[in-house]
Amino acid sequence: MTTMAAFTDICQWSSFHCQPSLMVPRITCTGNWNHHGLSSSFSWKLFCPESASFKFSSSRRLVARRSYVPKKGIQVVSPNIGSQTLTIEFLNAWDDEYGGVIVDPESLPSSANAFASTLKASISNWKLKGKKGIWLKITLEQADLVPIAIQEGFLYHHAEPGYVILTYWIPNEPCMLPSSPSHQIGIAAFVINDKREILVVQEKCPCSCPGVWKLPTGYIDKSEEIFSGAIREVKEETGVDTIFLEMVAFRHAHLVAFEKSDLQFVCLLKPLSLEITVDEKEIQDAKVPKTRYNIDEA
Amino acid sequence: MTTMAAFTDICQWSSFHCQPSLMVPRITCTGNWNHHGLSSSFSWKLFCPESASFKFSSSRRLVARRSYVPKKGIQVVSPNIGSQTLTIEFLNAWDDEYGGVIVDPESLPSSANAFASTLKASISNWKLKGKKGIWLKITLEQADLVPIAIQEGFLYHHAEPGYVILTYWIPNEPCMLPSSPSHQIGIAAFVINDKREILVVQEKCPCSCPGVWKLPTGYIDKSEEIFSGAIREVKEETGVDTIFLEMVAFRHAHLVAFEKSDLQFVCLLKPLSLEITVDEKEIQDAKVPKTRYNIDEA
């Protein structure tokens, strides 16, 4: 694999550049984002004329003077209008690098009514500011807010056990926000000893053909390296310790689990221990048959 | 890459076997699942004794005779109890291959109250039946049902624009349900002509270093092959037609977009056309500098 080594520099180099067709805010890495209050260029035209709740009556005189009333998690603007005070609340949000906005997940009002009105006002505000994609994270505890966001036009984007991310695309053109993650990554472990004998397993899984001997397989864990996943799966399924030698092949399948795609990497491993102890939950049996596998003949 | 060819048979073979540590129902491919009504072994002990809404008073006499009242989308059981009739409704669901249950997404009651009571009864029923993982798909239009499911103990699993999938793990042991998809798959296109000159681009993306020349990159589309994605990205960004020659490297990065991982494959392509027409939305400029790239020296 000379070419693989030769291209490593290009590969690493290109990895530091974004893929510009998609707008991918690091939505959970809020530390990387600038937290904006109302900017100094904030002007009256931002006061939500599209939102019925906040329309000013034409008989009211707008005064170009405003005060900021800090309130936990919500941007509050209270313009003096003659002797009256109108309070307009927006959701806290950070600008992303793609002209979009990430709503501060810590700052959502707990009351459904308050959320509905501030979300509506905020959407109008973002539209006036020419924002593009809006990202909204709602935790399990805030689940009452999900139907409200959907009603305002948000769509689901992706989810983890403790939260769901919703998006809203403002421009009148095709959405440029990235899709949710598309793949699961699996491994198949080709464990071969010095006698060219291969470790094989029988699964207990009901979707396996009964009695079939196969390579140990599994999905890699979150943020796990592929070679580490292969070593871990072999250890879990058979108790055998191994070292990683080489990645020898992969296959790409579509519409697998959750209608997503699946990449499976075949890893060549060398066994470091002999004793087999099967994981009784998953594996029916494991063995190293006395049959030599000849790579050159394959 | 002799080894890659040699292992192709193993790789393809192993792809037909599941990865048994995870229970992955094809939740959107309902055609693959057996749609069960109430089975012939259905017995009175399944009548939700854990659910307060459906507890029978001890003064009522249970008669071992039952009638099935068909009703759109809900399993209805009406036992005769003396002169009274109690109606107990469960959500329609299919068994999966892993001892779990997939709720029929077409059959959810539209009323929040009806959903709350049938979900509660169904969970009790599934617990009594010894079921493991419960899969529940809720569409955008049914968003009012999300907080109810969360309240009953469901967690988010994954989402697409039009729906969210929630799960509930019944056994009193660590959840064996698979995680949501973990990776995005990207390409970097190494387009090299017969003079060993390389096609490079400058991005308009705000997260790129201004003025940097780089390989065309992008994410592959849903169910797209990696080589097709590389050819498409080059065509979209530069207008150049290419053919795929070889995959020469890949890199694996973690905690990228949405805290997920990212595999980027470097594909070697040969240009079939000369004229460059940049995608003005994404690309600042593209060119083939008169500099020969020597693979052997790299």
Q: What is the CATH number of the domain that holds B192?
A: 3.90.79.10
Name the residue among A272, A8, A292 with its Cα closest to residue B250: A8
Name the residue among B131, B146, B111, B125 with its Cα closest to residue B54: B125
Please name the residues between 102 and 121 in chain B that touch chain A, using a CB distance below 8 Å: none
Query: Do A224 and A140 lie in a common domain?
Result: no
pLDDT band at A46 (very low <50, low <70, confident <90, very high): very low
Q: Give residue A74's pLDDT.
A: 54
Which amino acid does the sequence have at B52? A
Kind and range of the H or E run holding B234 = helix B226-238
Q: Which of B118, B147, B169 is where one domain is finished?
A: B169
Which of B180, B190, B203, B213 best tests the A interface by mutation, with the highest count of A CBs <10 A? B180
Q: From first to last of the 298 residues of chain B, give the pLDDT tens digit.
A: 333 333 333 333 333 333 333 444 433 322 222 222 222 222 222 222 222 222 222 222 222 222 333 334 455 555 454 555 566 789 999 999 889 999 999 989 989 999 999 999 999 999 999 999 999 999 999 999 999 999 999 999 999 999 999 999 999 999 989 989 999 999 999 999 999 999 999 998 766 677 899 999 999 999 999 999 999 999 999 999 999 999 999 999 999 988 899 999 999 999 999 899 999 888 999 999 888 777 665 5
**A·B CB contacts under 8 A:** 291
CB A11 within 8 A of CB B266: yes
Contact B3 A246 (CB under 8 A): yes
Cβ-based contacts of B206 with chain A (< 8 Å): 97-98
Contact A206 B97 (CB under 8 A): yes
- Rounded mean pLDDT, A16-43: 32
Distance from CA of B264 to the nearest CA of A (A): 7
Average pLDDT, chain A: 76
Query: Do B131 and B241 lie in a common domain?
Result: no
Task: Find the CB nearest A253 among B15, B220, B250.
Answer: B15
Residues 6+ apart with CB under 8 A from B280: none
B10 located within any domain = no
Cβ-based contacts of B192 with chain A (< 8 Å): none
Please name the residues between 215 and 234 in chain B that touch chain A, using a CB distance below 8 Å: 215, 217-220, 222-223, 225-226, 233
* A147–B contact, CB cutoff 8 A: yes
Which of B182, B252, B269 best tests the A interface by mutation, with the highest count of A CBs <10 A? B182
Q: Which DSSP category does A3 fall into?
A: H
Q: Give residue A259's pLDDT.
A: 87
Query: Do A129 and A233 lie in a common domain?
Result: no
B157 located within any domain = yes
Distance from CA of A107 to the nearest CA of B (A): 19
With pLDDT > 90 as the criterion, what percentage of chain A qualifies? 58
* B139–A contact, CB cutoff 8 A: no
Query: Do B133 and B255 lie in a common domain?
Result: no
Give the number of domains in chain A.
2
Q: Give residue B259's pLDDT.
A: 87
Contact B181 A184 (CB under 8 A): yes
Residue A170 scores a pLDDT above 70 = yes
B96 located within any domain = yes
**Dihedral sign of CA atoms A95, A113, A73, A181 in order:** negative
Please name the residues between 248 and 267 in chain A that touch chain B, using a CB distance below 8 Å: 248-261, 263-264, 266
pLDDT digits (tens, 9 = 90+) for A75-109: 555 545 455 556 678 999 999 988 999 999 998 99
pLDDT band at A11 (very low <50, low <70, confident <90, very high): very low
Three-class DSSP category at A220: coil
Contact B258 A1 (CB under 8 A): no
Locate the chain A residue with the closest alpha carbon to B97.
A206
Distance from C-alpha of B158 to C-alpha of B186, rounded to nearest angstrom = 21
Name the residue among A233, A181, A12 with its Cα closest to residue B253: A12
CA B237 to each of CA A11, A23, A177, B215: distance values in angstroms, whole numbers, following the listed order:
19, 16, 17, 11
* B184–A contact, CB cutoff 8 A: yes
Q: Give residue B84's pLDDT.
A: 58
User: A163-169 and A200-203: which strand pairing?
Assistant: unpaired
Distance from CA of B152 to the nearest CA of A (A): 12
Which of A144, A227, A238, A248 best tests the B interface by mutation, with the highest count of B CBs <10 A? A248
A36 located within any domain = yes
Query: Do A138 and A238 lie in a common domain?
Result: no
Contact B248 A6 (CB under 8 A): yes
Contact B10 A223 (CB under 8 A): no
- Rounded mean pLDDT, A281-296: 82
Which token pair is B262? 């990212």
With pLDDT > 70 as the criterion, what percentage of chain A qualifies? 68
Residue A43 scores a pLDDT above 80 = no
- Give B169 or A53, the one with higher predicted confidence: B169
Number of alpha carbons in the 13 Å side-chain half-sphere of residue A238: 31
Domain limits for position B217: 183-297
Query: Do A34 and A154 lie in a common domain?
Result: yes
* B247–A contact, CB cutoff 8 A: no
Query: Do A112 and A228 lie in a common domain?
Result: no
- Give A284 or A77, the one with higher predicted confidence: A284
B2 located within any domain = no
Q: Give residue B254's pLDDT.
A: 97
Q: Give residue A274's pLDDT.
A: 85
Please name the residues between 51 and 80 in chain A that touch chain B, using a CB distance below 8 Å: none
Task: Find the CB nearest A155 among B161, B215, B225.
Answer: B161
Cβ-based contacts of A119 with chain B (< 8 Å): none
A11 located within any domain = no
* B153–A contact, CB cutoff 8 A: no
Query: Do B64 and B97 lie in a common domain?
Result: yes
pLDDT band at A44 (very low <50, low <70, confident <90, very high): very low
Query: Do B153 and B82 lie in a common domain?
Result: yes
Name the residue among B25, B298, B51, B64 with its Cα closest to residue B158: B25
- Give A293 or A157, the one with higher predicted confidence: A157
- Give B288 or A293, the one with higher predicted confidence: B288
Cβ-based contacts of B7 with chain A (< 8 Å): 190, 248-249, 266, 298
A155 located within any domain = yes
Cβ-based contacts of A215 with chain B (< 8 Å): 10, 14
End-to-end CA distance of chain A: 19
Query: Do B96 and B201 lie in a common domain?
Result: no
Task: Find the CB nearest B97 among A162, A207, A295.
Answer: A207
Which token pair is A214? 């196969």
Task: Find the CB nearest B147 among A20, A144, A160.
Answer: A144
- Give A49 or B166, the one with higher predicted confidence: B166
Distance from CA of B43 to the nearest CA of A (A): 26
Name the residue among B167, B170, B225, B184 with its Cα closest to residue B24: B167
Query: Do B81 and B205 lie in a common domain?
Result: no
Query: Do B98 and B213 lie in a common domain?
Result: no
Other C-beta atoms lying within 10 Å of the C-beta of residue A64: 8
Locate the chain B residue with the closest alpha carbon to A205.
B20
B69 located within any domain = yes
For position A41, which CATH number holds?
3.40.630.30
